[in-house]
Amino acid sequence: MARRVSRVFALALAMTVFAVTPGWGGESMGYYDSHGNWRPLFLSYAKVAVVAGIEGGERAGIVHPILLSGSAARKPGGVWQYSLVEDMAGRQLDAAKRLVDEGVSERIALVFELAGDPDKTFTLNNTLVVKPKDADAASLAGTCGIESIEPLDEREGVWLGRAKDAVAVLEACRCLYGGGFVKWALPDFSVPVRLYGTVNDAYFSNQWHLAQSSDADIDADEAWDVTMGDSRVAVAVVDTGVETDHPDFEPARMLPGYNAATDTSDPTPLPTAIDAHGTACAGAVAAWSNNGQGVAGVCPGCSLIPIKMMDGMTSEAQLSTGYRAINFAADNGAWVISNSWGIPQEYTSQVDMEPYRVAIRHAVNDGRGGLGAVVLFASGNGNQWGQAQEIGANELQNMPEVMTVGGTGPDDTVVGYSN
C-alpha cells in the first residue's frame, strides 16, 4: 500500500513539473538530460517524418502530395523524412497528425533541427532509453504513458521503453524524471553518424602505412616476423556491417556477429548499401595475408567480431542501437572495439550521448572477462572542406576511456584533414 501511495504521489509531483516547465509548442520542446539539465529541442520548420516501414515511405509522397514534397530520406526504424510543402512550413506537428489520421503514417515521429542550422536534422520515433532507480524496472510499464519496457542491459540497469509516439516519448521522459522514478530517461534519438575514411586499396604494395622504404609506417612487416596475430585476440568492428564471406577473410577467424539495428545475428550489409565501409574497416584490421589477393590486415591472425550498427542505407543510428552494438562487443569477448565513425559535436548540444558512454565504460571496465577491452575511435576527417577540426568536448572521442586515432601521411606528418 505504501508503495502505491508513493507512486501516486510521484505522479502528482510529475504533473506539477509539467505545470512549471515549458509546453510543447515550437522551441519549448525538450527533456531533462542525464545530469538533470533541461535540453531544449527545436522542431524542424520544413521537414516532417512518416513512419511507414521500408517500402511505405516511398508511397507517402504519392499518397499525400498536398503535404509532402520531394523524395524521402530513409531513417532508422522505418522512418522516412520528407520536406513539407511550402504552405505547411512551420506546421510539422499538424502535418504529422494529419498523416496519421489519414493512414499514411503509423504514428507521429518528429524531426528536430539544430539551432541556427535547419539543414542538420535528427529524428525521434517512439522509444526511450531509461535508467530506473528501482530494481523493479518492469513495473514502469503503464506509468507516464510507457506502453512497454524491456531490458537493454540488465547488468547496467538500462532499459528500453516504448510509447505511443514521439510526442508521448517526450512526455514520458519528463514525467519519469519529474516523478523521481529514474536516474535519467532519454529520448531514443536517431542521430547522424559520420563514417571516417579507411584503407580501401586493392594491393599491399600501396598500403604504405604498413611498410615503406622511408619508414614512415607502423613497421607491420617487422611485427609479422614475430607474430601474424593470435586468433584468441578478437577485434570487434562496429560499423555498417561486414561481408563475412569475403574471400580476403579467413572463415575460421570470423566469429559470430550481430546486427544491432535489428537485434539479430546477421551482420551482413544490405546489397543496396551506400558503400562497403564496414567491410573495408574490417579488412584494414584482419584481411588475410599471403593469399595472393586483396589487402593485408595489420593483424591477419586475429579474429573478427562483425557488428552492424548502421544499415548502410543511411549513416544514422538510434542511441539504443549504438548501446547494443558496443555492449555486444564487450559481452562477447572483444579485446579491441574499433569504431571508424563519430557523432558530430554540434548534435551533442541537444542529444545526450549518455547511453553510448555507459556502454563504452562497461567495455573498458568489464570487457574481456573483467580485464577490460581497448576502445578505439577514429579522430575524424575534418570538416566538409577537408580541414582539421578540434574534437568537440562532448564527442565520444574525448572520453578518457577511449583511445582516439588520428592520421599521418607517407611523409610521416599529420595529414591536413585529421582532427
Q: What is the mean pLDDT of residues 23-41?
A: 80
Based on the fold, state whether residues 251 and 219 are members of the same structural domain.
Answer: yes
Based on the fold, state whether residues 248 and 162 are members of the same structural domain.
Answer: no
Question: Which range is most confident: 54-58, 72-76, 188-192, 193-197?
Answer: 188-192
- In this predicted model, which residue has the larger pLDDT, 16 or 76? 76
Q: What is the pLDDT of residues 301-325, one digit of tens each?
A: 899 999 999 977 778 999 999 999 9
In a domain, 76, yes or no: yes
The total of other beta-carbon atoms located within 10 Å of residue 150's CB is 12
Based on the fold, state whether residues 139 and 224 are members of the same structural domain.
Answer: no
Residues whose CB is less than 8 angstroms from the CB of residue 241 and which lie 6 or more positions away in sequence, other chains included: 259, 267, 268, 269, 270, 273, 278, 279, 306, 308, 310, 311, 312
Are 61 and 95 a contacting pair, CB within 8 Å?
no
Give 109's DSSP letter: -
Question: Per-residue pLDDT for 62 more than 60?
Answer: no
Per-residue pLDDT band for 405 (boundaries 50, 70, 90) equals confident
In a domain, 23, yes or no: no
Question: Per-residue pLDDT for 135 more than 50?
Answer: yes
Question: Per-residue pLDDT for 171 more than 60?
Answer: yes
Based on the fold, state whether residues 157 and 300 are members of the same structural domain.
Answer: no
Q: Which helix (H) or strand (E) holds 268?
A: none
- In this predicted model, which residue has the larger pLDDT, 329 or 70? 329
In a domain, 33, yes or no: yes
Residue 395 is predicted with a pLDDT of: 92
Which CATH number belongs to the domain containing residue 301 in this structure?
3.40.50.200
In a domain, 124, yes or no: yes
Q: What is the mean pLDDT of residues 55-64?
A: 54
Q: What is the SS3 assignment for 233?
A: coil
Of 143, 159, 190, the last residue of a domain is 190
Per-residue pLDDT band for 346 (boundaries 50, 70, 90) equals very high
Residue 328: φ, ψ to 5°: -60, -45
Question: Per-residue pLDDT for 373 more than 90?
Answer: yes
Beta partners for residue 40, in sequence order: 30
- Can you point out the beta strands (E) in 77-230? 79-84, 110-114, 117-124, 127-132, 146-153, 158-163, 182-187, 190-192, 194-195
For 247-256, 275-284, 332-341, which range has the lowest pLDDT when averaged over its residues? 275-284
- In this predicted model, which residue has the larger pLDDT, 186 or 17? 186
Q: For the CA atoms of the chain, what is the radius of gyration? A: 23
Give the strand order in the sheet containing 127-132: 146-153, 158-163, 127-132, 182-187
Based on the fold, state whether residues 227 and 165 are members of the same structural domain.
Answer: no
Q: What is the mean pLDDT of residues 263-267?
A: 95
Residue 43 is predicted with a pLDDT of: 97
Number of folded domains that form the chain:
2
Residue 14 is predicted with a pLDDT of: 42
CA distance 76 to 284: 27
CA distance 132 to 149: 11
In a domain, 133, yes or no: yes
Based on the fold, state whether residues 218 and 126 are members of the same structural domain.
Answer: no
> What does DSSP say about strands 403-405 and 374-378: parallel, antiparallel, or unpaired?
parallel
Question: Per-residue pLDDT for 36 more than 50?
Answer: yes
Question: Per-residue pLDDT for 84 more than 90?
Answer: yes
Give 254's DSSP letter: B
CA distance 419 to 407: 8
Q: What is the pLDDT of residues 144-162, one digit of tens each?
A: 999 999 999 989 999 999 9
Prediction pTM value:
0.85
Share of the chain above pLDDT 90, in %: 56
Question: Length of the chain, please?
Answer: 419
- In this predicted model, which residue has the larger pLDDT, 94 or 11? 94
CA distance 164 to 166: 7
In a domain, 96, yes or no: yes
First to last CA, the chain: 57
Question: Per-residue pLDDT for 190 more than 80?
Answer: yes
Residue 186 is predicted with a pLDDT of: 99
Based on the fold, state whether residues 167 and 233 are members of the same structural domain.
Answer: no
SS (H, E, C) 331-343: HCCCCEEEECEEC
Based on the fold, state whether residues 311 and 352 are members of the same structural domain.
Answer: yes
Q: What is the mean pLDDT of residues 369-391?
A: 79
C-alpha cell recorded at residue 88: 505547411
Characterize 208-221 residue by residue with b for buried, 16 or more Cβ atoms within 10 angstroms of its Cβ, and e for exposed: bbbbbeeeebeebe
Based on the fold, state whether residues 218 and 354 are members of the same structural domain.
Answer: yes
Q: What is the pLDDT of residues 201-233, one digit of tens each?
A: 344 344 545 544 454 555 665 566 567 778 999
Based on the fold, state whether residues 217 and 101 are members of the same structural domain.
Answer: no
For 181-185, 196-200, 217-221, 304-308, which range has the lowest pLDDT when averaged over its residues? 196-200
Based on the fold, state whether residues 239 and 145 are members of the same structural domain.
Answer: no
C-alpha cell recorded at residue 329: 562487443
Q: What is the mean pLDDT of residues 76-95?
A: 93
Distances (CA, A) of 391 to 198, 277, 374, 380, 414: 19, 22, 20, 8, 15
In a domain, 14, yes or no: no
Beta partners for residue 216, in sequence order: none
In a domain, 410, yes or no: no
Choose among 228, 225, 196, 246: nearest CA to 418. 196
Question: Per-residue pLDDT for 196 more than 80?
Answer: no
Of 157, 190, 223, the last residue of a domain is 190
Host domain of residue 306: 204-405
Question: Per-residue pLDDT for 61 more than 60?
Answer: no
> What does DSSP say about strands 374-378 and 336-339: parallel, antiparallel, or unpaired?
parallel
Per-residue pLDDT band for 129 (boundaries 50, 70, 90) equals very high
Based on the fold, state whether residues 247 and 169 are members of the same structural domain.
Answer: no
Average pLDDT, rounded, for the chain: 83
Of 190, 215, 238, the last residue of a domain is 190
For 72-86, 147-161, 382-396, which range has the lowest pLDDT when averaged over its residues? 382-396
The total of other beta-carbon atoms located within 10 Å of residue 345's CB is 17
